[in-house]
Structures are given as structure tokens and as C-alpha cells.
Amino acid sequence: MQELWNNLVFIMERFTWSSLLDVLLVTIVFGLLLYLLRDTEAQTLLRGVFLVVILITLLTSLVNLPAFSWLVKTITPALILAVPVIFAPEIRRGLERMGSFGKLGYWRTSRGTKAIQELEETLNAVTSAVMQLAQRRHGALIVIRRREFLDKYYKNGVMLNAEVSPQILLQIFYPNTPLHDGAVIISENQVKAAGCVMPLSSSGVLNSTAAQSLGLRHRAAMGISEVSDALAVVVSEETGTISIAHRGKLIRRLDGDRLLNSMKAIMTTDQSISTNWFKSLLKSLRAKTARKEVEE
């Protein structure tokens, strides 16, 4: 213990402004890493790795353990090579988030009266279609673009460039039609493409007991919400339940009013504060849903 204290005193005596800058840079790097991996299964895993590294470092520093120290030094290079393999999906997602910071293509960034009116008409049409689909128990996945472009997902679907209306959405998702299994992408008040294949969620959020019954549509909705800032609306084919996914979060059991209000709030909220707002909305809607279930 005395040796540890002497080492600390030795470090503090030689601590300079450059040392402070060095520590700050390391802190920023780890902070960015945790930020990019937020809302993923890897965040918890990474915390565990940090804890194990800290414990091993303290143990080898305080106690003279030659054999254990040799073992740590031997397996460390192998662990460094294994990290990119273990965290491959999360690393890719983090890099995509970093690359999307500079994108300025928002839903009609003019935010003029006409743009707001067109947005409201689009969301009203989506709400009307979703309510009818839920009533008929026709499964659906509707992805609404916000700031980030979704061009690579248009390519695996069928380009439509049609005006958004309840009729066209009902027709697309009618059972056994050629496009009903894929997702519809809406961009700038148009149905850009249908029958699109979305990436499946790899965060592990849907592996919980309560969410294990959710199918591929919900996993695809979570997947596109994890790799972009898009808003995804899902209708369950089995139960007719309406859900929305945004920023890796899923809200279930929505009615028409809550669906419309949620979509309006998300689509008109700036990206910088959308995550915090969405978390508050999630808690609020879950509380309302719980009270409703108790009353029933």
C-alpha cells in the first residue's frame, strides 16, 4: 500500500498541463465510444470489459503475481484482435452514426407553412391507413425518413414515387400482394418505394421475455431505427397492435390519437434533442398503457 501511495505522489509531482490535456483526450475518446454504442447490447458488455481490466490492473499492481501477470500479457494481444470481431455490428453502427452527423437533408428543412401542412397531411394519411390495417389485422411496416437519407434501402425495393394516401398504403399491404411483405419508405411526402428489405435489429432489446413474441416486422423496424434516425410504424399481423420505433426504442399498443401525436412530435423535433424527448415519451406512454390495462 505504501508503494502505491508513493507512486501516486510521484505522478502528482510531475503532473503538468500537457498531462491534463492527455487525460482529457483519453476521456473524450472513451466518452465518444460509449456514446456511439449507446442503446446497444455492446454497451453493457463494454462496461463489463472495463471493469475486468480495472480489476486486473489493480490486482497485478498491488500484489506480486508473476504467473498471473505473464498470463495477462500473453492473452492481451489475442483479446485485442478479438474485439473487432465481437463488436463488429456495433462498430459499424457507430461509424454510420458518425458519418451521418453532417447530413443536412431533413424532411423539408424550410419548415415553412406549406411544408408543415404537407407533413400533417402525410401523417394523417399514414394514421388513417394504419388504423384500418390494424382493424383488419393486415401486417405493415412504414418507414418515414427524417434527416438521414435511406437511398441504399430504396434499391432493394420497387420505386413508386407516389403521393401518400390511405388507399395506396392499404393496397400495398393487402395480404398476398407482391409488395405486402416488405417495408414502405416515405420521404418528402411521397411513397418513395415499397417492398424494401430493412436491416434486422442486432441490439438484443427484443430478446427479453416480454418481446420474444414479436416477429420480423418489429425486428426490422428496430433495425432501421438503430442505424438511422427514421421513424418506423409497425402493425402486427397477429394481434393488430400498432407500434412505433425510433432511435432503437419501441413503443407498443398505440391508438390513433397517440400514434398521430407521437409521429408529429418526433417528425418536428430536432435531432439533437429527439433522443431525450423520445425517452420521456416512452415512459409516459408506458405508464398510460399500464393504467389502461389495469382499468380493463
- Which tens digit of pLDDT belongs to each residue from 40-55? 555 666 667 777 777 8
Same domain, 48 and 163: no
Q: Are 86 and 138 in the same domain?
A: no
Task: Decide if 106 is inside a domain.
Answer: no
Of the residues 45, 78, 100, which one is the last residue of a structural domain?
A: 100
Check whether residue 118 and residue 95 sit in a common domain.
no
Please say if the pLDDT value at position 32 is more than 50: yes
Per the structure, the complete domain to which residue 258 belongs is given by: 113-295
Could you tell me if 21 and 46 lie in one domain?
yes
Residues 245 and 192 in one domain: yes
Query: Would you say residue 107 lies in a domain?
Result: no
Most confident of 18-22, 62-66, 256-260: 256-260
Q: Give me the pLDDT at residue 214, please.
A: 78
- pTM beyond 0.95: the answer is no
Number of domains in the chain: 2
Above pLDDT 90, what percent of the chain?
33
Kind plus residue range of the DSSP H or E element containing 161: strand 158-163
**Do 224 and 268 have their domain in common?**
yes
Residue 282 has pLDDT above 80, yes or no: no
Give me the DSSP letters along 71-128.
HHHHHHHHHHHHHHHHTHHHHHHHHHHHHHTT----TTTT--HHHHHHHHHHHHHHHH
Question: Residues 6 or more apart from 94 whose CB is under 8 A from it?
Answer: 33, 36, 37
Q: Identify the band that residue 211 occupies on the pLDDT scale cut at 50, 70 and 90.
A: low
Question: What CATH number is attached to the domain comprising 238?
Answer: 3.40.1700.10
Do residues 142 and 186 make contact, with C-beta atoms less than 8 angstroms apart?
Answer: yes
